[in-house]
Structures are given as structure tokens and as C-alpha cells.
A and B are shown apart, each in its own frame.
Chain A
């Protein structure tokens, strides 16, 4: 059992995610090269950069889809480097995907109930024999899932198949499912992609709301500068797998290097 030592920032706030010198190489290509992150509890942190900058790869490293070639990262002081995806989730990192990945043939509420499965124990024998524990846990899954759906205003769609939801609601459902796993850190991969301005606004409201309501730390990848400028407190800009700039949102967005990387000379 590795030692867990909580890390604190200078201002006394706990650091939820600390990544040191993360690197991953595919063949000769350095997809992510020496990326450092330090995200404080309750912060809404943005990861931006041009296409192919390695943003999603950072997410894949943090959720165990890939193992870093070099570097380590810590969640609330616990070293999680190299753990399997399911393990990462149990430790408290949940994510959404750039190209939505729902359980399409399950209903909306079942999608969220899948996310709750690790919260309330009930083993195989108890389920198969329909012991009281099973009935109790099923009821609790249902009720808690319904509560979560209400937060995301999806409760009226609870019996729809996930595949049949409109696009914007699918995005929200994916966040709801991630929230169901009770994460310490939520990773959102382009949550506003493909949304119209109204839906984006609605999404921003939901993100702000869950952040307050659930006291959660969020790291998000986004292209929509309005969304990034509107809700993120700090930013890291990636370009060609390396850090281009780190800092407060307003100063990063005015950084000439960043503007150059986005718009060109």
C-alpha cells in the first residue's frame, strides 16, 4: 500500500491533481511531452490548444487508457500512475468522451445506474437470489439516479433509450453518468462540441451548478473560447504536446504566443 500524502498549495488549498512531467511516446512521435498540471480543490481548469496538441491524450493518460512513458501523477496525494481504467474511476477520476460513448441500448436512467454500481455494494449471489440487500440496493440506485437526472433536467427522458436522446442531452447524460461514480475529479472532453449557442449556455450553467452542488474539481478540454473564457479559472495551453502557457485565464488568452498558435502569424 503506497503512502498517501496530501499535497497543499501555497495558499493552503488542497491540490487534487498533480501531474509531474507526463510524457507518452507512440513510436517516434511524442504525443505528450513533459506536461505538468496542478489543480486545486474546487477549481475549474481548462486544457486548450489547437487540434492534435495532445489534449485528449492527456485525458487518456489520466484515465488509464494509456500508460505514461515517463512521469507520474497523483490524485489527492495518491500515486495513480499506470492503473487500469476501471481502477482510476474507483479512485475518483471520471470522464466524458469527445465522441459520445453512451450505453445506447440501455435507458437513460439505466446509464446513470451503471455509474452508481460501485457506490452501493451488492454481490452476485445476493442479486441472483434476490436477497433483501439486492432489493434495497436496486431501489437506492433508482432513487439516486433519478435525483441526478433531475439536476441535469433529464428526468422526463428517463425511460428513453440513450441512443434516442437528442445530441445535446446525450452530452449531458454522459456528464450525469460520470457524476454518478462520485468522482473527486471530473474530466470533460469538449463538452460543448456540436452544440448551438443556447445549448452551450445551458451547459455552462449546469457545469457551474454541479461544481457548487457537489464540491467537485473539473478539468475540461474545450475549443469554444467563449465557454473557456466564461467559466475556467486557470488554463494550460498545449501545442505539439508541450506546454505553451500556464496561468490565469485572462492572462493566458492575451498571451501573444497563444494567439500565434491559434491564429498563426
Chain B
């Protein structure tokens, strides 16, 4: 029974990782860059929820009841997603766009700079002390089936992440913009010649990725409602690991990689002897996998043409 609980928790955590990994993988596929600041977008999402909620509470103070609380939480989540979307677009326009065509090393260092900047700004505005985010309204307690005890939130997280993945897959496959994204990731030059506005596609990619990161932040907060300015960096790195495990640039790969990593993490944490080394284990898996199969599970390796 405990095994099953751990497994479901792992799936749910994996769903969150997958959501973040989607942002990495889409940006990597389309802009051919590792958006190091993606993890910090999660953090910004969390702080946005933290800032918006009290405002809503004041606005709705007259009619406060559980339903209103849930609605206001959802409004806060949407606000966070919109804000992160805009932030993602601004970051892309200001920091990454001027460097299109420059060496990958330069782009990567800039992305690290952006990450550093976002963390520092958050620390200046909110301080470095942990902040408690009050989204108790979304806590629906624990579901008990026989000996199995799983939080409703775990299930909601899992369901939401699956829905997001399905929606995104359909979007990429069937919408005009989605197919343009595939075209740009295959061959930017050719896509441009076919009349696709590459800049617009890159912008949309950043927007979608950032919105997903904001959504992921809420699910992290449902698990543990405190946050600091570096809140996003570890999940960010882990989600990138997930994207690499699945094969960077591949959307189904990001999902598989995320879920795999989530399950591994939960099981590693369940064993007392190795639980302190959970992070080390996950990173070791990354290094070993990169050495054995650098293209990941579903990715394809591009060889430089001589």
C-alpha cells in the first residue's frame, strides 16, 4: 500500500516536472537555447500568487465564503500565468533576441544572468526569508481508499498535468501556430522562407512555456506552501534533467522524462538510507544517461555537417 502511495505521489510530482520540462524542451527545440531562467519563472509565478491573493481577499471581504475563496485562488493562478507569460516575452525580447545567431555560449551566459537577475529582484522585493503562501482554499484534504491515503491535490495535480500535456500535444499537432512551431524547430531558415514569422513563433513558445511554469509553481505550493527567491532553481534544474532524459526538443519525451524523474525522486525519498542523497542520485542519472545516450530516450542527435 505504501508502495502504491509513493507511486501515485511520484506520478503527481512527475506531472509537475513534466509541465516545467515542456517549457525547456519547446524553447530548446525552437530557439535552440537552454533557457536557464525558466526555473526562476516558477518562482515569479509563486510570488505573483502570493501578492495577488491578499488583494482579492480585501476586495471580496464582504462576501467571503469557501466558494469565493476557491474562485479567488483560481483568479490568482490565472493572474500569475498571465504575468509570467508577459515576463517570458519581455525576457526573450530584451535579453535573448539580440543574441540570435550569436555563439551558444553567449546565449547561455545571458540566460544565467537573467536567472541571477530575477532571483535578486525577488530577494529585494520580498526579502530572503521564506514566505508563506496562503492557498488553503485549494486544500481539499485526503482521499482514503482502503489503506491508501492520497491528498486530493495530488490527484488534481496529476489530472491537470495530463490535461495540459494532451492540450499541448493537440495544439502542436493541429493548430496552425503549432505546426509552424514544428516547422521552425526543424529548419528556421526554411520556415521563414515559407512565410512563417519566426520571431512571433519564438515569442509564443516563450509565452506558453512561462505560463506552464507559473501553473507548476502553484502545484509546488500546494505541496509545501512556503517559498524563497531561490524557490525555482532546483525544480528548474530537475525539470531540465527530465527534459534531457526524455530527449530535448521532444514533447512526449519531456512528459516521460518528467514522470520518470518524479517517481524516482519519491521512491528515493521513501528509503531512509538514501533519502539525503536524492538530488545527487537524480543528477547522477542525468550524467550517466548523457554519457550513454546523449540524445535522451526520444530525442534525435544532430551531427555537425562537415
**Per-position 1/0 for B294-306, Cβ under 8 A of A:** 0000000000001
Contacts of A97 in B (CB 8 A): 306
A65 interfacial by beta-carbon distance below 8 Å: yes
Ordered by A's residue number, 4 sampled pairs between the chains whose C-beta atoms are within 8 Å are A56-B306, A60-B306, A65-B306, A97-B306
A56 — which chain B residues lie within 8 A by C-beta? Answer: 306
Residues of B bordering A, CB below 8 Å: 306
Cα-based distance from A65 to B306 in the complex (angstroms):
8
Residues of B within 8 Å of A65, CB to CB, are 306
Identify the closest chain B residue to A97 (Cβ): B306
Residues of A within 8 A of B306 (CB): 56, 60, 65, 97
Interface of B is mostly: loop
Binary contact readout A31-57 vs B (1 if CB under 8 angstroms, 0 otherwise):
000000000000000000000000010
How many residue pairs between the two chains, A and B, have CB atoms under 8 Å in the bound complex?
4
Q: Nearest Cβ in chain A — how far from B115, in angstroms?
A: 28
How far, in whole Å, are A56 and B306 apart by their CA atoms in the complex? 8
Please give the distance in Å from B301's CB to the nearest CB on chain A.
14
- The contact string, 1 if C-beta is below 8 Å from chain B, for chain A 245-257, is 0000000000000
CA distance A65 to B304 in the complex (A): 11
Of all A-B residue pairs in the complex, the 4 with the closest CB atoms, nearest first, are A65-B306, A60-B306, A97-B306, A56-B306
A63-106 CB mask vs B (1 if < 8 Å, else 0) is: 00100000000000000000000000000000001000000000
Nearest to A63 among chain B residues (CB) is B306
Q: In the complex, how many angstroms separate the beta carbon of B288 from the nearest chain A beta carbon?
A: 25
Distance (whole angstroms) from the CB of B111 to the closest CB of chain A:
23
Q: How far is the CA of A52 from the CA of B205 in the complex (A)?
A: 35
With CB as the reference atom, state the residue of chain B lying closest to A56: B306
Chain B residues within an 8 Å CB radius of A60: 306
- Interchain nearest-CB distance for B42 vs A (Å): 38
| Bound-complex Cα distance A84 to B300 (A) | 24
Bound CA–CA A97/B306 (angstroms):
8
What's the nearest-Cβ distance from chain B to residue A143, in Å?
32
Residue of A at shortest CB range from B305?
Answer: A99
Closest chain B residue to A57 by CB distance?
B306
A60 to B306, CA, bound (A): 8
B189 to A: closest C-beta gap in Å: 15
For the complex, give the distance between the alpha carbons of A56 and B305 in Å: 11
Shortest beta-carbon distance from B299 to chain A in Å: 17
Proximity bits, A103-134, B CB within 8 Å = 1, else 0 = 00000000000000000000000000000000
